Amino acid sequence: MTVALPEQATRKYDLGFARWVRDNVNGGAKMSMCMQCGMCSGSCPIGTEMDQGPRKLFMMIRAGMKDEVFNSSTIWNCTSCYNCTVRCPRGVPVTYIIQDLAAKAVEFGYVKKVENARFAKAFWWSAKTFGRTDERLMTAKYYFSFGLVEGMKRGLANLKIAIGMVRTKRMHIGMPHKIKDTKGLQAILAKAAEIDARESKGGA
Amino acid sequence: MTDRKPGVYICKGCGIGEAVDTGALEALASGDLKVPVGKQHDFLCGAEGVATIEKDVADGLVNQPIIAACSQRVMTDQFNFDGAQTVRANLREWVAWAMPAGEEDTQMAAADQVRMGVAQASKMDVPEARVEEGLNTRILVVGGGSTGLNAALEAAATGHDVLLIEKTGKLGGWGAQWSKRMPHRPPYRDPQDNNVSSLIEAVQGNSAITVMTDTTVAETDGMPGRFNVKLANGSGEKQETVGAIVVATGWRPYDATKLGHLGYGASPDVVTGVELEGMLANGGVKRKSDGAVPRTVAFALCAGSRDPEHLPYCSSVCCGSSIKQALQIVEADPEAMVYIIFQELRTPGTAEEFYRQAQEAGVIFMKGKVKSVGADLTVTVDDELLGQEIPMTGLDMVVLATGRVPKATDPDKPAAEGGEEQLANDINPVAPIARAGEAEIATPAWSEAVPEGGPILNLQYRQGPHLPMLADGFADSHFICFPYETRRTGIYTCGPVRRPMDMAESAEDAAGAVLKAVQAIRSAQGGMSLHPRVGDLSFPKFGLDICTKCRRCTVECPFGAIDENEEGFPELNATRCRRCGTCMGACPVRTISFDNYNVQMVSEMISAVEIPDEFSEKYRILILACENDAAPALDMAGINRHSLNAEIRLIPVRCLGSVNMLWISDAFQRGYDGAMLMGCRSGDDYQCHFVKGSGIAEERMANVGQTLQSLMLEEGRVRSVEVSIADSAKVGKMIDEFVEEIRGYGMNPFKGF
């Protein structure tokens, strides 16, 4: 478990937040190396789909804008292409930090309103269970996470697309595809979780 | 020179032979110009060409070889002959390379170059060195801080005796009070131990260095090689003689009480960088209010610097010193949170490593301007990267990185009588450079620009007791072109009195200033000029029989080289003189001359040019080009094959300050259609190599306009332009435009009279 967020509810800007990120977020210790050059934001292929680019997100962390950081779409819209990480002249693992901020947002309950988090959860369920993404089941899980009525509504709205995909063999009906060795996958994931639990205190 | 034996040597190499008819030039020299020896050669600077001239000189046929070849700036060693005085006529850069080959106008320009060379030789003499006897070689270093200590050691290492004086009771200055210094050795990452104490030991152990503490300069008189310095200390005054002076008086912190908006004074826990440094050196950082060790500290950089209301300049050191202090705080307490709020972090070169080190240590850098600091230590930052104002609360201490004020004056001394007034006149006009698109910066009033206090050296010069300063109070001249020079020959500044700099830079600066001082002493001993006419032996001679005691030469000399004697006649302090000729340009009765440069010489050169009659449609424009920047720019125009108008006639001058307005009226009476002066930039960011020569020339030109009007000539026929050494591509166009304008006026009606 991560160290609890510092209690500074009465202030808008929280000077302890940067320190907390440094100590608790994967890769956070490297964040102080950021020199705000903007290479990350300039390299981001979906920067236009984010509330702010990684550069500004990092500046917000320094300024202690805790709520704004965790509610930002940036951490959810990142596609993990690693362009920013590869290009950062100061060696900041931007992608790790963003991914872990998303995990922390879930952990601290910031994600009630964020659809991306629901989608990410559905995606992860499919990947973990089958070793593959099954479009049907993943989409169903995502839609019904909004509730039964909302799930039906969303499903019907996309019915035409689904039929089209089946017809062109982009989606299949029947048992979901699976990888051959799901047990092996489970073992890998269990090991990864073990390593993560051991090493997740700061440092990339 | 009683017996002048000129000889014209024309080179055909480097394309000259293809561009002009050198045979005709040779015929001109031996025919019309009646020069006894006239020769041409395919490759004059080669061994054979040089040998030809050498032989003529050795045989006593020639003692003034007139080299009609390349620019006066090149091949000077090849064309230097013992027992002869070389004259250069530039056929290569200014004719063959800049004008179309084989044309009549090009040939006329080449012929006029030869005519001017011969005319120049007819009024030139070999300068006799004026060597002063019994000059002193000791170097006085004023200021015993780290810069002064370095200067003293460097001077001693060059074999000179040193007199080091320090105002306070002990050596070391600010540097001795710091616990650590910024890194100046690889890997440039951690604050380093202070080496000031070892510098002090080295100085005290050096037998060539005499140290006097509690001592200030009461009076300075004399000149390089013989400065008479009156030193004052508690026990009285002492007279000393030194050869040159290095001023290393350093800096003082900007008065933080003027920074009320940054909370100084409102809270005891808002401290300056200097105060923090004191804490670091004496048992660690503690809050003044409750003695607690601060856990959360914010540094506000540029506190008072780069602020038109306070110090308009960057103090340069505060970025580095704040990083150092932040690292010291984090090192003492790794859990401490340190914020550095910067506008632009200036960590050039290896300082970037230091910046990285601080980032790795977890110091948080925020880009923005600190708008205000409240009494409760709430820092309001205008965050540039977030585009909003951020109030920072929960801070235990705020450090203001206050800027540096140069100690070009002594704040503890009373203003000298007439000193403040003199200082105001000698500081360059406070005119911040206007740049397109930028908001105009408020110009501070004179009273604000003049630093308070008395003169450091109390110079007994007619220009007043102070060292001249730049607009912001730094005792320097043009900091790129003429570093260390103070506009007072033989007196050099180094360290933070010259511009803001750290200890490592100051140490290098000290070495530079000392080398300048050594140069001043050696040149004084040989009767030679200093920069930029290095080695020149000529000096101004005054024809006192017709001198009217008008004092223009004494007033206008940029270096205070000329004083008035008891009878009111000009008297030269020879080793202060830089041979610019500003006195010669000033003299209304033209009785100031140099052996190898005088009013008559240039007048003869102007008259030597053949002026075509008014039916020829050929104009003649005289261009007097400063030899420091304008003439090289014209040379480079030729080298880069930019074309020059073939109707111009170029004469290099030592400085526009040496241009006597007689030459301009001479030119118009001779039938020239226009005249142009090309010199260096004047004003606050001057590039004039003699400080104010070009500025003086501009003033004089205003009067020439009136003279022209009285002759019924258009004022626009005379122009003064600023040319920098990088203007080679522009200079030809400037000339073309001017020639076009002259054509608009038509020909000079005095032609043929």
The reported pLDDT for the residue numbered B441 is 46
**B647 bridge partner residues:** none
B382 touches chain A (CB under 8 A): no
The confidence band for B531, taking pLDDT boundaries of 50, 70 and 90, is confident
The type of residue at A136 is: R
H or E element in which residue B381 lies? strand B379-383
The reported pLDDT for the residue numbered A12 is 58
CA A189 to chain centre: 17
Q: What is the ipTM of this complex?
A: 0.70
pTM of the model: 0.85
Structure tokens at B242: 């030194």
Per CATH, B139-250+407-433+444-526 and B541-592 having the same topology is answered no
Domain made up of B597-753: CATH architecture: 3-Layer(aba) Sandwich (3.40)
The reported pLDDT for the residue numbered B686 is 81
The confidence band for B393, taking pLDDT boundaries of 50, 70 and 90, is confident
Domain made up of B541-592: CATH architecture: 2-Layer Sandwich (3.30)
Task: Give me chain B's average pLDDT, please.
Answer: 91
Closest CB to B385: pick one of A15, A56, A65. A56
Per the model's pLDDT, the better-predicted residue between B383 and B398 turns out to be B398
Is there a contact between B391 and A15 if contact means CB atoms under 8 Å apart?
no
Query: What tens digit of pLDDT does each residue of B474-503 get?
Result: 888 877 778 899 889 999 999 999 999 999
Tell me the CA distances in angstroms from B145 to B229, B244, B276, one per residue in order.
Answer: 20, 19, 20
Closest CB to A33: pick one of B359, B391, B394. B359
Percent of chain B predicted with pLDDT > 90: 76
Q: Kindly list the residues from chain A whose CB atom is less than 8 angstroms away from the CB atom of residue B360.
A: 32-33
The confidence band for A202, taking pLDDT boundaries of 50, 70 and 90, is very low
Phi-psi label, residue B490: left if phi above 0, alpha if psi -120 to 50, beta otherwise:
left
Instruction: Tell me the average pLDDT across B675-685.
Output: 87
pLDDT of residue A132 exceeding 50, the answer is yes
Cα separation of the two ends of chain B? 33
Is there a contact between A15 and B356 if contact means CB atoms under 8 Å apart?
no
Instruction: Tell me the average pLDDT across B710-719.
Output: 88
Per the model's pLDDT, the better-predicted residue between B135 and B383 turns out to be B135
Closest CB to A59: pick one of B337, B359, B385. B385
Return the CATH fold of B1-126: Rossmann fold (3.40.50)
pLDDT of residue B71 exceeding 60, the answer is yes
Q: Kindly list the residues from chain A whose CB atom is less than 8 angstroms away from the CB atom of residue B362.
A: 19, 22, 32
Q: Kindly list the residues from chain B whose CB atom is less than 8 angstroms away from the CB atom of residue A58.
A: none
Query: What tens digit of pLDDT does each residue of B315-336 get?
Result: 999 999 999 999 999 999 988 9
- For B362, which residue in chain A has the nearest alpha carbon? A32
The reported pLDDT for the residue numbered B709 is 84
The reported pLDDT for the residue numbered A170 is 84
Query: What tens digit of pLDDT does each residue of B337-352 get?
Result: 899 999 999 999 999 9
Percent of chain B predicted with pLDDT > 70: 95
The minimum CA-CA distance between B191 and chain A, rounded to whole Å, is 19
Report the C-alpha gap between B607 and B663 in whole angstroms. 10
CATH of domain B139-250+407-433+444-526: 3.50.50.60
Is there a contact between A35 and B359 if contact means CB atoms under 8 Å apart?
yes
Query: What tens digit of pLDDT does each residue of A64-113 get?
Result: 888 889 988 899 889 899 999 999 999 999 999 999 999 899 888 887 65
pLDDT of residue B131 exceeding 80, the answer is yes
Report the C-alpha gap between B173 and B184 in whole angstroms. 19
Instruction: Tell me the average pLDDT across B575-591.
Output: 94
- For B298, which residue in chain A has the nearest alpha carbon? A15
Is there a contact between B393 and A11 if contact means CB atoms under 8 Å apart?
yes
Task: Give Cβ neighbours of residue B277 (< 8 Å, ≥ 6 apart).
Answer: B177, B178, B179, B321, B325
Lowest mean pLDDT among B175-189, B220-234, B702-716: B702-716
The type of residue at B179 is: S
The reported pLDDT for the residue numbered B734 is 96
Query: What tens digit of pLDDT does each residue of B7-47 get?
Result: 999 999 999 999 999 999 999 999 999 999 999 999 999 99
| Interface test with chain A among B359, B381, B388, by most A beta carbons within 10 Å | B359
Count Cβ atoms below 10 Å from residue A18 Cβ, excluding itself: 24
Closest CB to A32: pick one of B362, B392, B394. B362
- Residues in A whose CB is inside 8 Å of some CB of B read 8, 11-13, 15-16, 18-19, 22, 32-36, 55-56, 59-60, 62-63, 65, 90
Report the C-alpha gap between B280 and B285 in whole angstroms. 6
pLDDT of residue B102 exceeding 60, the answer is yes
pLDDT of residue A167 exceeding 80, the answer is yes
Instruction: Tell me the average pLDDT across B187-203.
Output: 94
Q: Kindly list the residues from chain B whose CB atom is less than 8 angstroms away from the CB atom of residue A19.
A: 337, 362
pLDDT of residue B269 exceeding 90, the answer is yes
> At CB < 8 A and 24+ separation, what contacts does B69-72 make?
B69/B9, B69/B10, B69/B11, B69/B13, B69/B14, B69/B16, B69/B44, B69/B45, B70/B11, B70/B14, B70/B45, B71/B631, B71/B635, B71/B638, B72/B627, B72/B631, B72/B652
Closest CA to B479 of B503, B464, B496, B455: B496
B392 touches chain A (CB under 8 A): yes
The reported pLDDT for the residue numbered B592 is 95
Report the C-alpha gap between B615 and B612 in whole angstroms. 8
The reported pLDDT for the residue numbered B439 is 46
The minimum CA-CA distance between B379 and chain A, rounded to whole Å, is 12
Is there a contact between A15 and B392 if contact means CB atoms under 8 Å apart?
yes
All CATH 1.10.1060.10 domain ranges of chain A, comma separated, are 16-112
The reported pLDDT for the residue numbered B431 is 38
Length of chain B: 753
Domain made up of A16-112: CATH architecture: Orthogonal Bundle (1.10)
Report the C-alpha gap between B551 and B548 in whole angstroms. 8
Query: What tens digit of pLDDT does each residue of B500-525 get?
Result: 999 999 999 999 999 999 999 999 99
Is there a contact between A15 and B366 if contact means CB atoms under 8 Å apart?
no
Lowest mean pLDDT among A181-185, A196-200, B286-290, B364-368: A196-200
Residue ranges of domains in chain B = 1-126, 139-250+407-433+444-526, 264-388, 541-592, 597-753
Is there a contact between B363 and A32 if contact means CB atoms under 8 Å apart?
yes
The confidence band for B433, taking pLDDT boundaries of 50, 70 and 90, is very low
